[in-house]
Amino acid sequence: MSIITLSGVPVVSGELGLPLVGAWHLEAVLATADAPVVGESATLSLGGVPFVGAVVYSASDSGNRVTVRVVGGRGGLGDTVAAKGYYQTTRKVVLADALGSVGESLSLTSDGLDVYLGHWTRLESTVADVVRHVAEHAGLNWRALADGSIWMGAETWLPLEVTHTLESEEPTREAFTVALEAASVVPGVTFRGHQVSGVVYTFDSRKIRARVSYGAARGEIQSILGELVRRETRKADYHGLYTARVDAQNSDDSLELTPTDARMPSLSNVPIRMGGVSSIRLVPGSTVLIGHEDGDPTKPVVTSLYMGTVQAATVSSIGTYEIQASEVKAGGSLSLVLHDVLAAAWSQLGLQNVGIGLTLPPLVGANTTITKGA
């Protein structure tokens, strides 16, 4: 039997790409007339090393051979997950929640994920985008491992010693090709004195070859450009302002919100950051504008009142707070609080009223109560 099989079926030829960041992918020709079902699990045995993935393409050419494509993981990275807001959580919870919702699993060897997050806003997106965004925020790498789990963490570049035959070197492309008995060289290790950033295995029933990339190389230029475009687009989402309905206001003045954009989740305990306002109480049902400080999904904030009613507000100033207008109106039943100096002056004017005939005019159009403040 061939040393290379896919779920027990001999592989005639194939190519397996293992990137430093992302899911591995396989394209292979099988010696069978029965095409695997798209979506089902498949295990590639490459020289005795198993790679667990999901079939994403399968077609028979003439009833004698089948061409398949398999990706690392359980096939759920491209699925869409609904928007969701997290409060007092960790990176691990955010990541495991998204992966678990589509049948993917987080590798137990992952690290750097037990970090407290006051907030995290997950937009409606693919699971792969959620994983990428967590990795970018944490400054970590991620990839699908051979066992089908998703790993995230910092590279350790552990040294690897394995029997091999050097076939060619491409120093200007930061790559070399070796012949191996098994697929034992993977990204994230140090091999032949180089930090491995990608491996492409080509194989048939007779031989396994590995083209090993190192340095900054992570794959084809098109893949790199595509990832850059996706990354910058995702960042732009968190730099926008969105309207949201105020559902309730907590005792610490933070808000419970329902955004109007369907891609965004309900958000809890969102702080208010309105310039010049020390505190403000809003009536439920009001509409506010929300954003994320510095485009950071862990920092949702309310930036202004868009529509609705203010229940109470405090404006503090260490200097003069000046209002210039031809007329200032205060409606409704107005309670005017006068502090010590002004209250004393008002009292003196009242006492002098009898002697000099001075009449203190009431405020027009308001039911006014004047009291002495603290």
Tell me the mean pLDDT per 10 residues along the chain, length 374: 82 95 95 91 94 95 85 95 95 97 97 95 93 94 97 96 96 95 95 96 91 71 49 67 93 93 91 85 92 89 86 80 76 60 58 50 50 56
* Beta strands, E only, 8-65: 9-19, 25-30, 41-46, 49-60
Task: Please say whether the beta carbons of 92 and 114 come within 8 A.
Answer: yes
- Closest Cα to residue 7, out of 31, 38, 46, 42? 42
How far apart, in whole angstroms, are the C-alpha atoms of residue 126 and residue 76?
9
Sign for the CA dihedral angle at 86, 92, 97, 102 comes to positive
Three-state secondary-structure class, residue 70:
strand
Question: What token pair was written down for 279?
Answer: 């505190």
pLDDT confidence of residue 315: 81
Task: Please say whether the beta carbons of 103 and 281 come within 8 A.
Answer: no
DSSP 8-state code for residue 294: G
Q: How far apart, in Å, are the Cα atoms of 209 and each of 52, 123, 176, 184, 230?
A: 20, 41, 10, 11, 32
What are the chain's domains? Answer: 1-72+155-220 (2.30.110.50), 80-153 (3.55.50.10), 242-314 (2.40.50.230), 333-372 (no CATH)
191 phi, psi to nearest 5 deg: -135, 130
Three-state secondary-structure class, residue 363:
coil
Query: Can you give the C-alpha Rg of the chain in angstroms?
Result: 32
Any idea which residue has 């084809």 for tokens? Answer: 220
pLDDT confidence of residue 348: 62
Any idea which residue has 């009142």 for tokens? Answer: 305
346 phi, psi to nearest 5 deg: -65, -40
Amino acid at 116: Y
pLDDT confidence of residue 340: 59
pLDDT confidence of residue 219: 42
pLDDT confidence of residue 72: 96
pLDDT confidence of residue 367: 54
How far apart, in whole angstroms, are the C-alpha atoms of residue 253 and residue 271?
7
